[in-house]
Amino acid sequence: MVFMEWVTLDVGEQALVYDIHGTARIEEGPQRIFLFREKFTLLRRFSADQNHYLIIQYKDGRVEHKPGPCWLFRNPMCHSDIKVRSGISLDANELVVVYKYSADTKQVGRYLQHGPCVFIPKANEWLHEFCWHGTDPDNKTRKIPKSLKFTKLQVIPDQFYYNVDEVRTADHAVMRVKLMMFYELTDIELMLTSTMDPMADFINCLCADVVAFAAKLTYMEFVEKSNELNNLSSYPRLLERCKAIGYSVSKVVYRGYFAWDKLQVLHDSSVEKRTRLKIQFETEEQNQNMVDATLKAEMERAELEQKMALEKLVHDQTMERLQLEHQLKLDVKSKQESTKQMQREQMAKLQARCSTDEEKLKHFRELKALDIQMTDYLVAQNPRPGKVVVVKSDPTAPANLHLHHN
């Protein structure tokens, strides 16, 4: 055992030096220390960056969490242990449920820490650990109880696959129904107080709704109506339970079904027969549609020909009518021109006669102005006839007259 020696402390180091009486002192470097009947113990340095923190356990039972960046030497006189732990990194769509013990009220409270952040719990805080049904690594449609353990809760829409086995129809056909569910967490506090495992609730409600849906139908009716499983109205128990635990279901997708081998063979044979009959029906329907299209085309062609003949007849009649109207207008115009010409001729004759009468009247006035007896003049101008024949007849007797005058 060495009672005297020199020791060296480098920069950033600390040491605990014990003397022969059991007292201790802390020495910091850099320095060179002479030990005489003393014990030298180099202290371990613990450091944490901004993403870590120190858990300091004191010998008096206290626990302290010191967030980084920081460093601390473990002093065995007062520290029982020091640990470096990573902070909890939270994305924008993640949160943690934190429980906090209050020494004043002696009660435990709960609050939600949302991201994005690096969360460092305090000494009187701890996180809620979720333990749910998890997906089987070998089969994504199978859920294993209590296999999913986590502390960071995602608050974005999510989905999962699940197969409902042993689904029995009304005619005792057994099958497996494949589903895919889309859901979203809407009320975290309601979820924390209403359920321990939401995935188990989803699975149980899906099974109950699918079994109830298939129990009312035969195998063939289920095949025909299976598309109704895409409607949310087919899952009343699931919607009711999700509302009670703070979740909302946006969609449930029906991914098909799987029947057992013998039943599947019978169904495939039935499908083959139905497909053959459907093809025959579609072929006959296409033939009938072709005949109908031919008859319709012929009828349309006949109607078009009749329409064209009628339009031609109407056109000919219209042209004939227009020609007659034109000829009538020409005749009327010619008649009007001849009438106007006759009127002009009669007017000219009348004007000529009026001119003659005016000349005679002027002549007579001039004669009168010369004191000529107009009566004698007119008698001289128009002498009396040499003989006057008067014919009288009996009104009651027929009139027969023969006159010969030489």
> Tell me, what CATH number does 142's domain have?
3.30.479.30
Q: What is the pLDDT of residue 266?
A: 64
Q: What is the pTM of this model?
A: 0.59
Q: How many CB atoms are located within 10 Å of the residue 87 CB?
A: 18
> Do the beta carbons of residue 191 and residue 130 sit within 8 Å?
no
Tell me: cis bond preceding 76? Omega within 30 of 0 counts. no
Q: How many CB atoms are located within 10 Å of the residue 141 CB?
A: 17
The rounded distance, in Å, linking the Cα atoms of 247 and 201 is 11
> Do the beta carbons of residue 23 and residue 35 sit within 8 Å?
no
The rounded distance, in Å, linking the Cα atoms of 329 and 342 is 20
Query: Are residues 224 and 317 located together in one domain of the fold?
Result: no
The rounded distance, in Å, linking the Cα atoms of 41 and 34 is 14
Query: Are residues 219 and 233 located together in one domain of the fold?
Result: yes
Tally of domains in the chain? 4
Query: Has residue 345 been placed in a domain?
Result: no
Query: Has residue 7 been placed in a domain?
Result: yes
Query: Has residue 97 been placed in a domain?
Result: no
Query: Are residues 246 and 290 located together in one domain of the fold?
Result: no
> Do the beta carbons of residue 216 and residue 168 sit within 8 Å?
no
Give the torsion sign (CA, 337, 339, 342, 346).
negative
pLDDT in tens, the chain (406 residues): 456 788 888 888 899 888 888 888 888 888 898 888 888 889 999 999 999 999 999 999 899 999 989 999 999 989 999 999 999 999 999 999 999 998 888 899 999 999 899 999 999 999 999 999 998 888 888 889 989 999 999 999 999 999 999 898 888 888 899 999 999 999 999 999 999 999 999 999 999 999 999 999 988 888 889 999 999 999 999 999 999 999 999 999 999 988 766 666 666 677 678 788 889 999 999 999 999 999 999 999 999 999 999 999 999 999 999 999 999 999 999 999 999 999 999 999 999 999 998 988 888 888 888 877 777 777 777 766 656 666 666 666 665 666 665 5
| Alpha helix ranges (H) inside 251-260 | none
Query: Are residues 14 and 51 located together in one domain of the fold?
Result: no
Query: Are residues 217 and 176 located together in one domain of the fold?
Result: yes
Query: Are residues 210 and 301 located together in one domain of the fold?
Result: no
- Partnered with residue 109 across adjacent β-strands are 100
Angle, in degrees to the nearest 10, between helices 198-215 and 236-245:
160
- Could you tell me the two tokens for 356? 């003659």
- Determine the 3-state secondary structure of 328 from DSSP: helix
Give the residue numbers spanning the domain of 5.
Answer: 1-43
Query: Are residues 138 and 254 located together in one domain of the fold?
Result: yes
Query: Are residues 239 and 295 located together in one domain of the fold?
Result: no
Query: Has residue 164 been placed in a domain?
Result: yes
The rounded distance, in Å, linking the Cα atoms of 142 and 55 is 40
| Alpha helix ranges (H) inside 197-260 | 198-215, 219-225, 236-245
Q: How would you class 164 by CB atoms within 10 Å of its CB: exposed for 0-12, middle for 13-18, buried for 19 or more?
A: buried
